[in-house]
């Protein structure tokens, strides 16, 4: 893919469909494996996962890979190397807010968390569009509607990754901590050896 006009609306629409097909089983798995009780315990792990995901995304994609072709047009030069930490911290706060909102749902709290994560992309991408991101040569053939739609499904994927990182972090933390267990242990049944 060249860096001049190769991202088209058609590509983004197809990418949105493909990403939605990836998101669907991830969301089903998240709902199945992350109970309301577990979700309640994941608050800080989700915040940490959000920091890792967004700091990595912006640090690699925004500051390095696509700085010259895209992001230099919407950010000042001094911000280049601050994008990763800034967006990592920003989305840490967003994750805590979405965790709090999702906890109010009667069912499928993790689903609401991921869906809110998808919808937040509309805000960020709309700001980028208003600042001219679709005028750079790489994105000049893409429509706002296709970019925003793809962004929702793209971010749902990221938020599923955040949930996976949060659950894995908690599981590892409980394994490392003395006496910790990631799930309740079944009661021990006494064995009668004497007959």
Q: What is the pLDDT of residues 40-70, one digit of tens each?
A: 999 999 999 999 999 999 999 999 999 999 9
Predicted TM-score (pTM) of the model is 0.86
Q: What is the mean pLDDT of residues 4-14?
A: 87
Dist CA 64 CA 155 (whole Å): 20
Tens-place pLDDT, residues 100-153: 999 999 999 999 999 999 999 999 999 999 999 999 999 999 999 999 999 999
Q: What is the per-residue pLDDT for 176?
A: 77
Of 117, 119, 121, the residue nearest 164 (C-alpha): 117
- If pLDDT is split at 50, 70 and 90, which confidence band does 174 have? confident
Of 53, 68, 32, 169, the residue nearest 121 (C-alpha): 53
Dist CA 163 CA 112 (whole Å): 12
159: its two tokens: 């938020």
* Residue 134: Cβ within 10 Å count: 21
Handedness of CA 168, 88, 157, 44 (dihedral sign): positive
Residue 54 vs residues 107, 114, 181, 185: alpha-carbon distances, Å: 27, 14, 29, 35
* Domains of the chain by residue range: 26-174
């Amino acid at each position: 893919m060249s860096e001049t006009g190769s991202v088209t609306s058609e590509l983004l629409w197809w990418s949105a469909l493909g990403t939605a097909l990836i998101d669907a089983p991830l969301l089903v798995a998240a709902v199945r494996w992350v109970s309301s009780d577990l979700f309640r315990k994941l608050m800080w792990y989700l915040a940490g996962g959000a920091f890792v995901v967004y700091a990595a995304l912006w640090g690699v994609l925004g500051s390095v890979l696509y700085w010259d072709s895209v992001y230099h047009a919407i950010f000042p030069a001094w911000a280049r190397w601050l994008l990763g930490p800034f967006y990592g911290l920003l989305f840490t706060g967003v994750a805590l807010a979405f965790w709090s909102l999702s906890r109010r749902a009667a069912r499928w709290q993790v689903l609401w968390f991921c869906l809110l994560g998808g919808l937040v992309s509309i805000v960020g991408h709309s700001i980028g569009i208003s600042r001219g991101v679709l005028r750079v040569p790489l994105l000049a053939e893409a429509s706002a509607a296709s970019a925003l739609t793809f962004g929702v499904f793209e971010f749902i994927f990221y938020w599923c990754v955040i949930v996976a990182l949060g659950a894995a972090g908690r599981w590892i933390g409980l394994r490392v901590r003395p006496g910790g267990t990631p799930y309740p242990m079944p009661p021990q049944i006494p064995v009668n050896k004497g007959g």
